Amino acid sequence: MTTFDQDTAAYWMPFTPNRAFKKNPRVMVAADGMYYETAEGQKILDGCAGLWCVNAGHGNRKINEAIKAQVDQMTYSPAFQAGHPLAFEFAERLADLFPGDLNHAFFTNSGSESVDTALKICRAYQKARGKADKIKLIGRERGYHGVNFGGLSVGGIMPNRQAYGPLLSEVDHLPHTHDLAKNAFSKGLPEHGADKADRLLDLIALHGAHTIAAVIVEPMAGSAGVLVPPQGYLEKLRKICADHDILLIFDEVITAFGRLGDSCAAAHFGVQPDLITTAKGLTNGAVPMGAVMVSDKVHDALMTGPENMVELFHGYTYSGHPLACAAGIATLDVYRQENLFGRAHDLAPYWQKALHSLARHDGVIDVRNIGLVGAIELQPRDGQPGARAFEAYLKAFEAGLLIRTTADIIALSPPLIISEQEIDVIVNTLDDILGNL
Ligand SMILES: Cc1ncc(COP(=O)(O)O)c(C=O)c1O
């Protein structure tokens, strides 16, 4: 057994209350399959696939071997004006995986970069078509699209935005779809709320479709606390966008790669966006990477001008990084060989039943689920928003379970390799904790 006694001062931790954390650090030193091991030697069951990314479980041997082999072959080649075989191969594999004509992959290093890339591509597309006024970007309340300026601007989580203004100006937001009064304890898609998509018609009436480049939504909002789309909502949004010549971006940084039991939410819901942003499960979190999947229509409109000219003045030094591509290709192999999307689909009913058993606790005001995602929403304590869920987080960690909390919502999204017994461990652990909160 090891213990953790390092100086913690220099590391400024992201999205973490640094001072509180450093008084009582939680430090992982190893991970395998469904479990982490802490510096104190405690096993921690991973109830959230890291940060929604380790869909194939930790330390997958095939992914690790692919990365190691690429380390010996070549660790870097320039991303601009040169290529390497794995980037082309990976892009082709992704084009095959994503539905419809999302046949082009633009590689980034994170979900945030994927979002800003997608927003820029949409504006460039409209300009390339001669629609220079079509610049507005429409996001949604409670949307999370990462932390860069574009994603923050279309995002709808106030604490993430408030210190950084002014953000992009040509932006507006749809209302979120969460409606506890009508939809609490929904299993799968909530019944009420498709009409929230009609608010896009109000924004079109207000601004004019001729000013709107794109709408971006998470098909299932993850980071704001698992907000499952109401029945018919995404279909409506798709139709309104198509009717008004507005591009639709699905931010699938969480929902792509099996989380809902299919390759992505677009395939799961049968709703085809014009662009999809991804990251996280793209490489099983093993090497940082993101990708924007772009439709033929959008891509082809930008492949104009003299052939010796750059078509899109955008890209990152590490776009299509060889180690990330090696990890990504191996990850897709593992998803297919281990049928992990099918596994998530098959486990979803068991997951749903287990999670909803927690509804019996006082203080639980909602349980909701889709695929291998779930949320338990707690009644906030008077004057202490978030305190109840954070206490649950600490108690769960103590009991050997990693969960995620947002305000007073517990979010769960285990690796897709989870067994029914491990689902029982998650639910039994939470059952004990919720009974004593
Ligand atoms: C929907 C969505 N978009 C974008 C991001 C940002 O991804 P990253 O943290 O890799 O920048 C996230 C991260 O959780 C996300 O859930």
Q: Domain check: are 119 and 52 in the same one?
A: no
Tell me, using a 6 A CB cutoff, whether residue 281 lines ligand 1: no
Q: Domain check: are 355 and 403 in the same one?
A: yes
Buried b (16+ CB within 10 A) or exposed e, 200-217: beebbeeeebebbbbbbb
Tell me, using a 6 A CB cutoff, whether residue 228 lines ligand 1: no
Q: Domain check: are 98 and 226 in the same one?
A: yes
Q: How far is the CA of 134 from the centre of ligand 1 (A)?
A: 26
Taking Cα atoms as reference points, which of 212, 215, 135, 146 lies closest to residue 175? 215
- Kindly state the average pLDDT of the residues 161-168: 97
- Kindly state the average pLDDT of the residues 369-393: 97
The gap between the terminal CA atoms of the chain, to the nearest Å, is 31
Last residue of a domain, one of 337, 352, 373: 337
Q: Is 348 part of a structural domain of the chain?
A: yes
- Kindly state the average pLDDT of the residues 425-436: 97
pLDDT tens readout for residues 250-308: 999 999 999 999 999 999 999 999 999 999 999 999 999 999 999 999 999 999 999 99
Q: Domain check: are 82 and 210 in the same one?
A: yes
Tell me, using a 6 A CB cutoff, whether residue 252 lines ligand 1: no
Ligand 1, closest atom to CA 112? 11
Q: How far is the CA of 226 from the centre of ligand 1 (A)?
A: 14
Residue that the structure tokens 């018609």 belong to: 201
Can you spell out the DSSP letters for 11-79?
Answer: ---TTS-HHHHHHS---EEEEEBTEEEETT--EEEESSHHHHT-TT-BT-HHHHHHHHHHHHH-S---S
How many structural domains is the chain composed of?
Answer: 2
Q: Domain check: are 300 and 359 in the same one?
A: no
Provide the domain limits for residue 291. 64-337
Q: Can you give the CATH number for the domain in which 124 is found?
A: 3.40.640.10
Pairing of strands 247-251, 104-108: unpaired
Instruction: Give, for ligand 1, the residue of 54, 140, 144 to mutate: max count of ligand atoms closer than 8 Å to Cβ.
Output: 144
Q: Is 7 part of a structural domain of the chain?
A: no
396 and 430 in contact (C-beta within 8 Å)? Answer: yes
Give all strands (DSSP E) within 177-260, no chain letters.
Answer: 212-217, 247-251
Tell me, using a 6 A CB cutoff, whether residue 225 lines ligand 1: no
Last residue of a domain, one of 337, 356, 380: 337
pLDDT at 189: 98
- Kindly state the average pLDDT of the residues 57-61: 98
d(CA 286, CA 355): 29
> At 376, is the secondary structure helix, strand, or coil?
strand
pLDDT at 209: 98
**Which two three-digit tokens encode residue 241?**
């966008």
- Kindly state the average pLDDT of the residues 161-171: 97
pLDDT at 1: 55
**Which two three-digit tokens encode residue 227?**
């907000």
**Which two three-digit tokens encode residue 389?**
């869920």
pLDDT tens readout for residues 201-245: 999 999 999 999 999 999 999 999 999 999 999 999 999 999 999
Measured at the CA of 294, the angle between CA 115 and CA 148, to 5 degrees, comes to: 10
Task: Give the alpha-carbon dihedral of 263, 264, 268, 270, to 10 degrees.
Answer: -110
Measured at the CA of 359, the angle between CA 351 and CA 218, to 5 degrees, comes to: 60
Q: Is 323 part of a structural domain of the chain?
A: yes
Q: Is 74 part of a structural domain of the chain?
A: yes
How many contiguous H segments (helices) and E segments (strands) does the chain have? Answer: 16, 15
Q: Is 87 part of a structural domain of the chain?
A: yes
pLDDT over 90 at 20, yes or no:
yes
Last residue of a domain, one of 311, 337, 363: 337
Buried b (16+ CB within 10 A) or exposed e, 135-172: bbbbbbbbbbbbbbebbbbbbbbeebeeeeeeebeebb
Q: Is 207 part of a structural domain of the chain?
A: yes
Longest dimension (CA), the chain: 68
Ligand 1, closest atom to CA 114? 4
Q: Is 30 part of a structural domain of the chain?
A: yes
Confidence of residue 3 (pLDDT cuts 50, 70, 90): confident
pLDDT tens readout for residues 35-49: 999 999 999 999 999
Q: Domain check: are 81 and 45 in the same one?
A: no
Return the percentage of the chain with pLDDT > 90, whole number.
99
Buried b (16+ CB within 10 A) or exposed e, 406-424: bbbbbbbbbbbbbeeebbe
Tell me, using a 6 A CB cutoff, whether residue 90 lines ligand 1: no
- Kindly state the average pLDDT of the residues 138-150: 98
Average of per-residue pLDDT values in the chain: 97
Tell me, using a 6 A CB cutoff, whether residue 258 lines ligand 1: no
Enumerate residues 6+ apart whose C-beta is below 8 A from 324. Answer: 107, 109, 283, 287, 288, 289, 318
Q: How far is the CA of 41 from the centre of ligand 1 (A)?
A: 30
Tell me, using a 6 A CB cutoff, whether residue 116 lines ligand 1: no
Tell me, using a 6 A CB cutoff, whether residue 254 lines ligand 1: yes
- Kindly state the average pLDDT of the residues 190-208: 98
Neighbours of 183 (CB within 10 A): 19
140 and 217 in contact (C-beta within 8 Å)? Answer: yes
- Kindly state the average pLDDT of the residues 329-338: 98
d(CA 428, CA 401): 11
Q: Is 3 part of a structural domain of the chain?
A: no
235 and 242 in contact (C-beta within 8 Å)? Answer: no
